[in-house]
């Protein structure tokens, strides 16, 4: 019986702040980073599970320490037992009563759990010889609800309601699986819209996005309202009336600011306003949504767990729900959130970008399409060009759609050279800069 | 000009799980711990600032790592500048755009900020020769609102409204300060009610509590409803009809469970139900409160920040607001929360216990009484007997009231021997146990 023998963490950071890639109103100079985990076993197959939490630089070491705190819940356990009941396994991490105090179920500890849970799913999918989306989409409704912790959800979604949603989608699974393999899943691109880019670069990249087949782009807003109106007008003039332009304030505003700012942009027909205020502010989002309609309200990349998503849905605070693959507690909690969204009839359009988030989250949207919501109507996955070259099985977009991954696993695995070259602070990418500082 | 020269962290853990002190429905075996910080300067006065985050064992090392991630925002800075504008200083930590990604403003990183901010307030109060409550209560309304970040609050509380609250309380400050020094601040005791205690111990401790002058005790509930009904009946029979009995479920229930369970206890007249469900569930608390009235709903010890407190108040989800001194981002954020509570007319009854939480939070309630709410009506601070001997200036309760501290500082400083004896994992308290395990 194989057991878990390796739990190896890496602090991997990319110097993205040097080019202002990823710059927005709240995050002017991110260094995209991964608190990266490799879980190994003594099985003959030699397969590993890879997972990570995404951060934007400082604090990636804290995130690594939080992942390490979970090692004792993995090392030495029987691999088959752990992977056979991923619902029970999820609870091992989330229900550690001492670690729970550090959240509960939020922030650094929840992101650490996401890394471990996702790494175990990566391994489980590799052992099954299936991409994760296909592994999940092949599970029965009963197996899927067994992955979900309904605690704190039952006033909005019970196990029985979740089962009913999954059973309703069952008959069409095979046809949608074929459609997915042929057509992929719709994407939108954030590449043109970073705040740090010049008007010329914005216009050029927006034009290229349309030429490449995208039907939706996104602009970062929230720095200066006059600049945003000018950039939004330029973007609208460039792409024409039929391309959707989402906007993203990255939590910059209070409620009244958000309403006024969105109204200033409304003449240029924004499709949604993303993160208009604090991700913790359910009632604030509800007030904003009421005031800015028909502009849609989107949020989720910083929403800490299923309990806050539940309330966003209960309060009618959302038109678009944006899951993130590595902030809530991994695949299991995201399945709970997909089911909540289905119950409330709200489309899920994942947050991606960063490093590796496109790779991970595509699997969740594809599973959602095949086995939960059953549709791609108004569903798009964010696409950002950066850093895909660091992955063994990089996500790919062609003609405005994610190409459905077929390699076994969760597409989480980085190339080995990246783990050494970008290791912080002693990898080749960072060590010279350190020497300059101390010289 | 003195600067900060020392930023020294300690992983301090107490083996409280051995006696089931602190056992409740969600936390069966806590080892009360502190991720402890000493900030030193090169000033001639030799004064240090002490602060800590409270955890319950595993993960205290993660919390220490998070505090260390803030060292670069303190070391080398000018002491006078940092302490002169504590509002700006608070933003140094909270607005680090890279670290912010790890929250934002929640969980491990926010608790780390609390340790640093509180340590700086400890130092500032020592330099002023005043206990913290008195330092704060001597600041002008303008100085106090400058400590508060109103971001994400303005739909419920503006700077002008906060100023008006503080100005209204100004005339009575001197008289209330005298009253406080003479009478102390009302306390209630959780000591009788831990879930791990026998019925006999519960009855004995409840009787002793009344004899000692307490007018309120608290029982942990949420393990088994029949046990809780029996324990609640025993407690009510022991203390009579005039003593308030608070109950505390420590997040054990979903909304419908909470309502049913509280109704089963209602014949025994519980004063409040504390943490009936997830601390993240604003709408859940509102639904429970509506259903269980006149039993009051209390929460806050795990509420992550001012934004969630704002919504609990906006939604009418709370009768009693329970601040914690070391979970939100320190003194500054707690001042924001005290002002929110005053705006909505909700009494603040702090969470305490653990290790050092009584010592810290007494200062905040006393400041609230003198300079914000102006009353102790329905206000009580939790009191738990454990671990006070580890502090240089331990909190004290006499005749059911906290004795107002008069020593300069925030009462945060542990005795030096504790930092070495209880150091984890190599202090004398822990090293022998380790040897046994590996033998």
Say whether B388 is catalytic: no
Instruction: Verify that B206 and B221 share a domain, yes or no.
Output: yes
Place B336 in a pLDDT band, splitting at 50, 70 and 90.
Answer: very high
Indicate whether B46 belongs to any domain.
Answer: yes
Mean model confidence pLDDT for chain A: 96
User: The domain spanning residue B297 has which CATH number?
Assistant: 3.20.20.120
Instruction: Verify that B106 and B181 share a domain, yes or no.
Output: no
Q: What is the 3-state secondary structure (H, E, C) of chain B?
A: CCEEEEEEEEEEECCHHHHCCCCCCCCCCCCCEEEEEEEEECCCCCCEEEEEEEECCCCHHHHHHHHHCCHHHCCCCEHHHHHHCHHHHHHHHHCCHHHHCCCCCCHHHHHHHHHHHHHHHHHHHHHHCCEHHHHHHCCCHHHHHCCCCCCCCCCCCCHHHHHHHHHHHCCCHHHHHHHHHHHCEEEEEEEEECCCCCHHHHHHHHHHHHHCCCCEEEEECCCCHHHHHHHHHHHHHHHCCCCEEEEECCCCCCHHHHHHHHHHHHHHCEEEEECCCCCCCHHHHHHHHHHHCCCEEEECCCCCCHHHHHHHHHCCCCCEECCCCCCCCHHHHHHHHHHHHHHHCCCECCCCCCCCHHHHHHHHHHHHHHHHCCCCCCCCEEECCCCHHHECCCCCEECCEECCCCCCECCCCECHHHHHHCECCCCCCCHHHHHHHHC
Mean pLDDT of A351-377: 98
Mean pLDDT of A93-102: 97
Collect all residues of chain A within an 8 Å Cβ-Cβ radius of residue B281.
Answer: 152, 307, 310-311
Indicate whether A104 belongs to any domain.
Answer: yes
B98·A55 Cβ contact <8 A = yes
User: The domain spanning residue A61 has which CATH number?
Assistant: 3.30.390.10
Instruction: Verify that A115 and A176 share a domain, yes or no.
Output: no
Q: What is the pLDDT of residues B115-160, one digit of tens each?
A: 999 999 999 999 999 999 999 999 999 999 999 999 999 999 999 9
Instruction: Verify that B85 and B178 share a domain, yes or no.
Output: no
Cis amide linkage into residue A294, ω under 30° from 0: yes
Backbone angles phi, psi at A97, to 5 degrees: -65, -30
Mean pLDDT of B333-361: 98
Instruction: Verify that A411 and A427 share a domain, yes or no.
Output: no
- Closest in A28, A283, A304 to B314, CB measured: A283
> Which listed residue (B351, B363, B388, B390) is catalytic?
B351
Q: Is A432 on the interface with B (CB under 8 A)?
A: no
Which of A25, A98, A309 would best serve as a mutation to test chain B binding (most B beta carbons within 10 A)? A98
B58·A153 Cβ contact <8 A = no
Q: What is the pLDDT of residues A111-125, one digit of tens each?
A: 999 999 999 999 999
Which of A59, A73, A257 would best serve as a mutation to test chain B binding (most B beta carbons within 10 A)? A59
CA distances from A175 to A172, A180, A335, B190 (A): 6, 9, 21, 60
Indicate whether B160 belongs to any domain.
Answer: no
Output the pLDDT for position B433: 56
Say whether B220 is catalytic: yes
Instruction: Verify that A243 and A334 share a domain, yes or no.
Output: yes
Output the pLDDT for position B439: 36
Domain range for A83 is: 4-129+418-438
Instruction: Verify that B310 and B409 share a domain, yes or no.
Output: yes
> Which listed residue (A124, A220, A310, A390) is catalytic?
A220
Instruction: Verify that A188 and A46 share a domain, yes or no.
Output: no
Mean pLDDT of B178-187: 98
pLDDT above 80 for B438: no
Indicate whether B89 belongs to any domain.
Answer: yes
Mean pLDDT of B417-427: 97
Q: Is A75 on the interface with B (CB under 8 A)?
A: no
Output the pLDDT for position A437: 46
Q: Is A101 on the interface with B (CB under 8 A)?
A: yes
Place A402 in a pLDDT band, splitting at 50, 70 and 90.
Answer: very high
Output the pLDDT for position B100: 97
pLDDT above 90 for B219: yes
Indicate whether B158 belongs to any domain.
Answer: no
Split into its structural domains, chain B has a count of: 2
pLDDT above 50 for A135: yes
Indicate whether B145 belongs to any domain.
Answer: no
Q: What is the pLDDT of residues B83-113, one digit of tens each?
A: 999 999 999 999 999 999 999 999 999 999 9
Indicate whether A390 belongs to any domain.
Answer: yes
Instruction: Verify that A338 and A353 share a domain, yes or no.
Output: yes
How close A127 comes to chain B (CA, Å)?
Answer: 31
A59·B109 Cβ contact <8 A = yes
CA gap A90, B64 in Å, rounded: 25
Instruction: Verify that A200 and A281 share a domain, yes or no.
Output: yes
Indicate whether A177 belongs to any domain.
Answer: yes
Output the pLDDT for position A20: 67
Q: What is the ipTM of this complex?
A: 0.96
Q: What is the pLDDT of residues B367-406, one digit of tens each?
A: 999 999 999 999 999 999 889 999 999 999 999 999 999 9
Output the pLDDT for position A339: 99
B102·A111 Cβ contact <8 A = yes
Burial status of residue A128 (CB atoms within 10 A of its CB: 0-12, 13-18, 19 or more): middle
Mean pLDDT of A339-358: 98
Mean pLDDT of A265-293: 98
Instruction: Verify that B355 and B424 share a domain, yes or no.
Output: no
Output the pLDDT for position A194: 85
- Closest in A61, A108, A151 to B109, CB measured: A108
B102·A65 Cβ contact <8 A = no
Instruction: Verify that B185 and B322 share a domain, yes or no.
Output: yes
Interface of B with A in 250-279 (CB under 8 A): 251, 254-256, 277-279
Collect all residues of chain A within an 8 Å Cβ-Cβ radius of residue B63.
Answer: 102
Q: What is the pLDDT of residues B220-259, one digit of tens each?
A: 999 999 999 999 999 999 999 999 999 999 999 999 999 9
Mean model confidence pLDDT for chain B: 96
Output the pLDDT for position A219: 96
Q: Among residues of chain A, what percentage have pLDDT more than 90?
A: 92
- Closest in A99, A155, A251 to B254, CB measured: A155
């Amino acid at each position: 019986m194989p057991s878990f023998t390796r739990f190896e963490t890496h602090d991997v950071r990319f110097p993205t702040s040097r080019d202002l890639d990823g710059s927005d109103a709240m995050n002017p100079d991110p260094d995209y980073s991964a608190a990266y985990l490799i879980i190994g076993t003594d099985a003959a197959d030699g397969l590993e599970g890879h997972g990570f939490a995404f951060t934007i630089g400082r604090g990636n070491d804290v995130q690594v320490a939080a992942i390490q705190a979970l090692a004792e819940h993995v090392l030495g356990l029987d691999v088959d037992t752990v992977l056979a009941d991923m619902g029970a396994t999820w609870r091992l991490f989330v229900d550690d009563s001492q670690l729970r105090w550090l959240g509960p179920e939020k922030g650094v500890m929840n992101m650490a759990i996401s890394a471990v849970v996702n790494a175990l799913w990566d391994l489980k999918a590799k052992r099954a010889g299936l991409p994760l989306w296909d592994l999940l989409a092949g599970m029965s409704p009963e197996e899927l609800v067994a992955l979900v912790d309904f605690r704190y959800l039952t006033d909005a979604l019970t196990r029985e309601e979740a089962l009913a949603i999954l059973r309703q989608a069952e008959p069409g699974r095979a046809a949608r699986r074929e459609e997915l393999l042929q057509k992929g899943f719709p994407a939108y691109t954030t590449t043109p819209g970073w705040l740090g880019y010049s008007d010329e670069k914005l216009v050029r990249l927006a034009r290229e996005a349309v030429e490449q087949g995208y039907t939706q782009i996104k602009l970062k807003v929230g720095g200066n309202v006059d600049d945003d109106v000018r950039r939004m007008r330029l973007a609208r003039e460039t792409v024409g009336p039929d391309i959707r332009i989402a906007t993203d304030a990255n939590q910059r505003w209070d409620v009244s600011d958000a309403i006024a700012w969105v109204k200033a942009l409304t003449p240029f027909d924004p499709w949604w306003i993303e993160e208009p205020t604090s991700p913790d502010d359910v009632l604030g989002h509800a007030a904003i949504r009421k005031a800015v309609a028909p502009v849609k309200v989107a949020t989720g990349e910083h929403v800490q767990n299923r309990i806050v998503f539940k309330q966003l849905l209960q309060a009618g605070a959302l038109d678009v729900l944006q899951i993130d693959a590595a902030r809530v507690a991994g695949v299991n909690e995201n399945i709970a959130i997909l089911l909540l969204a289905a119950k409330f009839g709200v489309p899920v359009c994942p947050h991606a970008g960063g490093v590796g988030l496109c790779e991970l989250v595509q699997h969740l949207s594809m599973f959602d399409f095949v086995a939960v919501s059953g549709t791609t109507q108004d569903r798009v996955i964010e696409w950002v060009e950066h850093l895909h070259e660091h992955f063994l099985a990089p996500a790919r977009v062609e003609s405005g759609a994610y190409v459905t991954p077929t390699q076994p696993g969760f597409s989480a695995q980085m190339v080995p050279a990246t783990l050494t070259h970008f290791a912080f602070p002693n990898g080749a990418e960072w060590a010279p800069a350190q020497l300059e500082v101390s010289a």
